[in-house]
């Protein structure tokens, strides 16, 4: 009688992974947006559980070896520590780059090692590698080519239409001709994220198929080529309709939804053509299933895997309250008007509940004095613009020594840093952090540094940040790893500004 040990192991692996990944999947945009290529990651996140199920094709055996269990627990400890360190170090940029998903391979390997042993990691290496792409981090350089890809598509479409004798002219990626309106092929028309999403959907299906790597690669390439051809046909149809008949509502609606429809068409067509590429689905045999260790012999390791999934769920429980500022939606340059920058900064500084004095302004650097009449003290606030996601840093870095340092991770995902530094025989408290703002439809980062001299008569009023259990635990781990030794609270002014983001 066939033993179901392997299938139980796969079910436990699936359950443990879904527990640990639940918060990350929940906060991810469920749609693939033309305006943000990185939104393709939802495909990987949803296909990972499917790929775990597909791993039933492998000759996996449950493991109850102590060595593989210890190795899996060590990997999970690395996963927890890396997560804690990265959340603090990257601040809100942790979510901008989706580092939460980038370290899933370590989490998955830990679970696989505990459930299926060292041999399981080797046999499920495709799953591990695939999970890396649940974060867009490695593909950001590719998505930077969206503009060049859009221009190449517009040039091809224009050349083809000219061969067909269509009386059109083109400037850049904008088409005009006859009596119709101008039509522009922008990056949203040919977003590379759509093609990446198709590839990421097809990879688990290719994994399930039985066939050579070469045949699977050709099948994947065929799917991408088909999607490119369908998308070119869509753009040509819209341009011809606009040139000869104008862009009516029906054409605009078709243009808006055709991308999704073509995506599904490409998927269905390529699945139907799988046999043409020499690919077929492997059937599970009773003989293969019968080789596996009974689940009761590995009950302890299966339970450990589920517990680790629960621990990962708790640690990720505050992801939902963290700021989401996707990396691809940052401006990429510093062309921000000073008035818009100052307006955003003043609003944030008002949370310090102090009189605000403007001391210096430029396009990228601002300096203010925050006067507290109650304590007769002044805190200086320096704000520096950065067009990319940033974890925060000390702007005035000309100091002689650091006496103390500590961090706190706020519920909104912003890391608040404190440092006590001495410069020219004067001791200062410095609190620094970074916040994302939307300016002109794009995100920018504002790096804040609040500093004040500490004398013997008074100390700036301090606050103990409210972080939550998970964030507090990760900040404690980070402080321990970085050997932070400061014990006092943070400036209330800095804390109130940071938590207002």
29 and 126 co-located in one domain: yes
441 and 370 co-located in one domain: yes
**pLDDT greater than 50 at residue 299:** yes
311 and 353 co-located in one domain: no
238 confidence band (pLDDT: 50, 70, 90): confident
Task: Specify the pLDDT at position 142.
Answer: 94
Q: What interhelical angle do 66-90 and 299-315 show, nearest 10?
A: 0
489 and 456 co-located in one domain: yes
Between CA 174 and CA 158 the distance in angstroms is 10
First to last CA, the chain: 61
308 and 363 co-located in one domain: no
Closest C-alpha to 79, from 16, 12, 138, 8: 16
Measured CA to CA in angstroms, residue 232 lies from 161, 229, 323, 358 at distances of 11, 5, 37, 54
Q: Is 205 exposed, middle or buried (0-12, 13-18, 19+ CB in 10 A)?
A: buried
Closest C-alpha to 501, from 436, 444, 451: 436
The number of helices, as runs of H, and strands, as runs of E, in the chain is 17, 14
203 and 111 co-located in one domain: yes
Task: Indicate whether 155 belongs to any domain.
Answer: no
Task: Indicate whether 43 belongs to any domain.
Answer: yes
Task: Indicate whether 165 belongs to any domain.
Answer: no
Task: Indicate whether 381 belongs to any domain.
Answer: yes
**CB-CB contact of 195 with 228 (8 Å):** yes
Domain count, the chain: 2
Task: Indicate whether 382 belongs to any domain.
Answer: yes
pTM: 0.88
312 and 395 co-located in one domain: no
29 and 122 co-located in one domain: yes
pLDDT digits (tens, 9 = 90+) for 80-98: 999 999 999 999 999 999 9
In the listed set 301, 329, 357, which residue is the last one of a domain according to the structure?
329
**CB-CB contact of 360 with 366 (8 Å):** yes
> Does 184 or 157 have the greater pLDDT score?
157
Average confidence (pLDDT) over 222-245 = 84
366 and 480 co-located in one domain: yes
**pLDDT greater than 50 at residue 456:** no
397 and 321 co-located in one domain: no
Task: Indicate whether 156 belongs to any domain.
Answer: no
Closest C-alpha to 320, from 125, 112, 468: 468
pLDDT-wise least confident of 20-29, 200-209, 258-267: 258-267
324 and 352 co-located in one domain: no
Closest C-alpha to 196, from 46, 30, 32, 326: 32
Question: Helix H segments across 164-248?
Answer: 192-208, 213-245
pLDDT above 70 coverage of the chain, percent:
88
pLDDT digits (tens, 9 = 90+) for 20-62: 999 999 999 998 888 899 999 999 999 999 999 999 998 898 9
**pLDDT greater than 90 at residue 331:** no
Average confidence (pLDDT) over 464-479 = 86
Task: Indicate whether 346 belongs to any domain.
Answer: yes
- Using the structure block, give the residue that is written with the tokens 């974890």: 391
**CB-CB contact of 239 with 170 (8 Å):** no
In the listed set 329, 349, 365, which residue is the last one of a domain according to the structure?
329
Q: Which two tokens stand for residue 274?
A: 């799988």
Task: State the residue range of the domain holding 60.
Answer: 5-148+172-329
DSSP, collapsed to helix, strand or coil, labels residue 309 as helix
66 and 192 co-located in one domain: yes
Closest C-alpha to 281, from 204, 220, 208, 203: 208
In the listed set 302, 329, 356, which residue is the last one of a domain according to the structure?
329
Task: Indicate whether 154 belongs to any domain.
Answer: no
């Amino acid at each position: 009688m066939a033993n179901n040990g392997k299938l139980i192991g796969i079910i436990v692996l699936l359950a443990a992974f879904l527990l640990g990944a639940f918060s990350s999947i929940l906060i991810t945009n469920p749609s693939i947006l033309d305006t943000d290529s990185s939104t393709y990651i939802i495909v990987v996140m949803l296909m990972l559980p499917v790929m775990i199920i597909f791993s039933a094709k492998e000759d996996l055996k449950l493991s109850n070896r102590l060595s593989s269990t210890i190795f899996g627990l060590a990997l999970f400890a690395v996963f927890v520590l890396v997560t804690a360190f990265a959340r603090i170090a990257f601040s809100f940029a942790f979510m901008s780059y989706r580092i939460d998903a980038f370290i899933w391979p370590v989490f998955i390997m830990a679970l696989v090692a505990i459930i299926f042993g060292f041999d399981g990691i080797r046999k499920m290496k495709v799953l591990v590698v695939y999970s890396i792409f649940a974060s867009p981090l490695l593909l950001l350089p590719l998505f930077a080519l969206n503009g060049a890809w859009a221009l190449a598509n517009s040039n091809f479409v224009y050349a083809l239409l000219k061969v067909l004798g269509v009386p059109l002219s083109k400037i850049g990626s904008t088409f005009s001709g006859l009596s119709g309106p101008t039509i522009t092929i922008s990056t949203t028309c040919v977003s590379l994220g759509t093609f990446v999403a198709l590839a990421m959907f097809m990879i688990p299906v290719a994994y399930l198929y039985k066939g050579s790597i070469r045949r699977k690669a050709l099948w994947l390439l065929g799917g991408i080529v088909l999607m490119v051809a369908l998308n070119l046909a869509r753009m040509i149809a819209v341009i011809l309709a606009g040139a000869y008949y104008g862009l009516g509502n029906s054409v605009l609606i078709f243009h808006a939804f055709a991308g999704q429809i073509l995506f599904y068409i490409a998927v269905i067509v390529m699945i139907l053509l799988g046999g043409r590429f020499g690919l077929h689905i492997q059937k599970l045999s009773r003989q293969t299933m019968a080789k596996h260790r009974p689940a009761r012999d590995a009950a302890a390791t299966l339970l450990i895997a589920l517990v680790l999934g629960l621990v990962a769920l708790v640690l990720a429980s505050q992801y939902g309250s963290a700021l989401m500022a996707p990396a691809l939606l940052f401006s990429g340059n510093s062309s921000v008007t000073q008035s818009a920058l100052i307006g955003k900064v003043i609003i944030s500084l008002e949370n310090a509940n102090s009189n605000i004095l403007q001391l210096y302004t430029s396009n990228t650097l601002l300096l203010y004095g925050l006067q507290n009449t109650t304590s007769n003290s002044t805190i200086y606030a320096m704000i520096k613009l950065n067009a990319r996601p940033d974890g925060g840093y000390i702007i005035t870095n000309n100091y002689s020594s650091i006496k103390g340092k500590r961090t706190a991770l706020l519920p909104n995902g912003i890391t608040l840093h404190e440092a006590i530094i001495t410069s020219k025989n004067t001791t200062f408290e410095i609190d620094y952090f970074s916040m994302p703002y939307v300016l002109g439809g794009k995100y920018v980062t504002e790096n804040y540094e609040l500093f004040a001299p500490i004398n013997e008569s008074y100390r700036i009023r301090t606050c103990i940040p409210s972080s939550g259990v998970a964030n507090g635990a990760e900040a404690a781990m980070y402080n321990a790893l970085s050997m932070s030794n400061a014990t006092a609270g943070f400036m209330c002014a800095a804390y109130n500004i940071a938590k207002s983001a």
